[in-house]
Amino acid sequence: MPPGNGEAMVHYEDTIKRKVAPEIIFSFVSSDLKRSLQTVFGNKRIATWGSRDSPANRAKFDRMEEGDEVLIVEGATIKLLGRVAAKVVSPDLSRKLWQNLHGDAVQGWDLIYFLANPREVGVPFATVRTLLGYQPDFQLRGFTAVSAERLNRFYSDYDDLYSILLASREGQEIRKTPNEIIPPYGNPIDPLPDAIEESTEQETPPESEHSWMQWRLLRFGIQAGQKVWAPRNDQSRITSAYNFSEFEETFASGLDTQVKYIENIDVVWKEEFRIDAAFEVENSTSIYSGLLRFADLAMVAPNTHYPLFIVAPSERRNRVREQLARPTFKGRPAMGDPTLTAKER
């Protein structure tokens, strides 16, 4: 967005900050795109942006994929970060959403993209310019795509982009991701052997207690305005016991993440293209299996960071620490800090 451009600011307020009613968009898109948008946004208003349909812009637009990150920059400031949920070329929708306010142009902004998880940022563009390896005098000129080489270099050194921008905004030091993080256990505990095996004693999980904990976490997620998921095999049991049925239709809806190994995590909170939290309830069952699912989740979504919770009785705290010390988990940054939650009666 050119700095001080009143027309761009009006459009930003209208279709990014206030967003667009879905029924307006649905009148101009195909039934397939409508279903895709409904899967991601439900009935919520949708942040929408567009670019002029020039040959150079069209080439970049064609390479844009669902899940790609978008920065909206005004002059020297990054205003917003979001993810591409879908895109469409539509002169009719462009005319509906955006007028050429000065009357000196007939072109529209026909290359339209819909943004999930839009978050206002408010940090200097110079921050990203440095992180992505551009020259100090590099200036944006309209619709710009970051090369795969720069992105790969960035993600080999840093965590997800939003966390880095947030740290910059709050004046925190931006650190490169270390190759290995040793878990900060806090209070000293007895030295652990090199290999620790899960107890082989027979444990019969109290299924009703496990389901009750899932239900509580699912309900907390709904109260927090999240979409929620539990494994399909558990959903009917939770619905029958607690009359709860507000599950996401599919675990993968709105996510650009492989789900084969992770859709059996006990409870997941998510929003559009973002997982916000994941919970494994381990009141008496094998802690190792829950941690393994978390490890799979960290592998298939390595640049997205969110809290992972083992929900367990306080007397199992040392068992969790023992399992985190296994070589499988010890070097994983996302799993280095054992967060334990004692069950509340």
Q: What is the pLDDT of residues 292-309, one digit of tens each?
A: 777 776 665 554 567 888
Residues 6+ apart with CB under 8 A from 284: 203, 204, 205, 206
Q: Where are the domains of the chain?
A: 6-169, 207-341
Query: Does residue 332 surpass a pLDDT of 70?
Result: no
Phi-psi region of 339 (alpha: psi -120 to 50; beta: other; left: phi over 0): beta
pLDDT in tens, 27-72: 999 999 999 898 888 888 999 999 999 999 999 999 999 888 899 9
- pLDDT at position 342 is 41
Of residues 319, 296, 316, the one with CA closest to residue 308: 296
Q: What is the pLDDT of residue 289?
A: 73
d(Cα 265, Cα 234) in Å, to the nearest integer?
11
Alpha carbon distances (Å) from 110 to 53, 92, 135, 205, 222: 6, 8, 31, 57, 36
- Its CATH architecture, for the domain 6-169, is Roll (3.10)
Q: How many CB atoms lie within 10 A of CB 342?
A: 12
Whole-prediction pTM value?
A: 0.63
- Residue 345's pLDDT is 31
**Largest pairwise CA distance in the chain:** 78
pLDDT at site 199? 40
Nearest residue to 37 via CA among 66, 80, 63: 66
| 233-279 pLDDT per residue, tens | 899 999 998 899 999 887 765 554 555 656 788 999 988 777 888 89
Residue holding tokens 């307006």? 24
pLDDT at 337 over 50: no
Residue 103 has a pLDDT of 65
Please say if the pLDDT value at position 198 is more than 50: no
- pLDDT per position as a tens digit, 114-170: 999 898 889 999 999 998 999 999 988 889 999 989 988 887 887 678 778 888 888
pLDDT given for residue 117 in this prediction: 86
CA distance 224 to 159: 25
pLDDT for 166 equals: 82
* Non-local CB neighbours of 156 within 8 Å, separated by 6+ positions: none
Whether 321 has a pLDDT exceeding 80, the answer reads no
